[in-house]
Copies of this chain bind each other. A is one copy, B any other.
Amino acid sequence: MFAEIITIGDEILIGQIVDTNSAWIAQQLNLQGIRVRQITTSPDDKAGIIQAIDEASRRAGIILITGGLGPTRDDVTRGSLCEYFGSQLVFDEKAYAAIEQIFSRRKLPMIEENRNQALVPDNCTPLYNTCGTATGMWFEKEEKVYISMPGVPFEMKVMMETDVIPRLLRKFSFPGIIHRTIQTTGIGESFLSRKISAIEDELPSWIKLAYLPAVGTVRLRFSAYGSDKSEMEKALDEISQKIHKTVGEYIFGEGEITLAESVGKLLLEKGKTISTAESCTGGYLSHLLTSVPGSSSYYTGSIISYAYDMKIEQLNVDPESMAAYGAVSEQTVVRMAEEVRKKLKTDYSISTSGIAGPGGGTPEKPVGTVWIAVSSADKTVARKFLFENNRERNIQRSAMAGFDMLRKMILSI
């Protein structure tokens, strides 16, 4: 049983936005053992949409469609589906109630365009949207399933997780697949691959390994295919143990955990607290920490000392030391980390100071030069990094490196 994904939107076809929805949907399907045969981006017109659906249905049994649902007149998906399935639009009380709830929560008046969003094709199962006003649709025809979801990523994701995936699992039985993801940081893909090559060579044919690199981390995903779940789990447990034995120091977690979540979990377990003093990361460490629900249990706050003077005035960095060594120096980040830890009364702290770019580089300290320190009551450790000439990635890599240094300090590795 193949699936296909159709994303609808002229904005994708003119390159204005990158289609991230289909990658996310493909990931979710893959986790359930559903293979995606093709991804298609179709224009916002009936002929194009109908042709894309028709072609996909010749190759696959599950067709997932996102985009082209909205209150404005550029909404053509619903009309195309009505034509394709010979539907009449009918007013749906529950869809209307769901839309009303969105508006009452937002304390906004509803207008006619929104009322129209409660009109659904009479031969589909409506998928009620708990986060937005576009109602999703589930059609069945000749043992094939066609699902239309909104294009707003957040709305689509909630609909997919809470409604579409459970319905698919009830309707079809997919081959058994179990994934085990091991998260590493502080080691590149090729080095990691070299270190675990003996384990990789010994994998049975029914277990596959994928390397999934992201900024500062590499996920190892082992996928076991089969019907005997307990045998599959046992084999994955054994592999996981071997991986831990071989590259344990680089492993920060299993499953879909972020490095910030993992650090938060560690702090929570130990009953410790954290603060940050950030220059080049400009609040990004703080943002990642506070993106985790419940982070107020261990995160106190931060001093984002972006300007030169602020490091002196808010973090007591010695002006003479700054003049001698520069804002991007071991001396500066050590002082920043120690000072913020004392000032905000936390057990640990992280500080950053670097040249994120594109401007500000010198021959001695080129763009990508970043100093990071982590501090506890016992000691302060500082490290210099040389990243690349890309502002966004330098900020991200600095944050990941800071978290990794903290993780190692907490675990004394």
Contact = CB atoms under 8 A, between A and B. Distances in A.
A393 B189 contact: no
A301 interface: yes
A125 interface: no
Contact of A11 (B15, B113, B210, B391): B210
A284 interface: yes
A19 B285 CA distance: 26
A175 interface: no
Nearest to A391: B293
Interface in A345-400: 356-359, 368, 386, 388, 390-393, 395
Nearest to A154: B393
Given A107-B386, A296-B307, A303-B301, A40 B37 contact: no
Interface stretch (A23-31, A78-86, A159-167, A316-324): A23-31
B40 A38 contact: yes
A74 interface: yes
Interface in A290-330: 290-291, 293-296, 299-307, 310, 314
Contacts of A388: 105-106, 131
A23 B30 contact: no
Given A38-B41, A73-B193, A190-B111, A290 B300 contact: no
Contact of A39 (B36, B41, B395): B41
A301 B287 contact: no
Contacts of A189: 70-72
A48 B44 contact: no
B291 A304 contact: no
B304 A302 contact: yes
Contacts of A137: none
A370 to B, nearest CB: 13
Contacts of A26: 12-15
Contact of A17 (B44, B212, B391): B212
Interface of A: 10-20, 22-30, 35-44, 48, 52, 55, 70-74, 105-108, 111, 113-114, 131, 133, 152, 154, 179, 181, 188-191, 193-194, 200, 208-213, 215, 221, 223, 276, 278, 281-287, 289-291, 293-296, 299-307, 310, 314, 343-344, 356-359, 368, 386, 388, 390-393, 395
Given A15-B36, A111-B191, A287-B287, 12 more contacts: A10-B208, A10-B223, A13-B35, A14-B30, A22-B41, A38-B43, A105-B368, A105-B388, A154-B393, A282-B291, A295-B306, A299-B306
Q: Which 5 A-B pairs have the closest CB atoms?
A: A282-B290, A283-B286, A15-B27, A283-B283, A15-B26
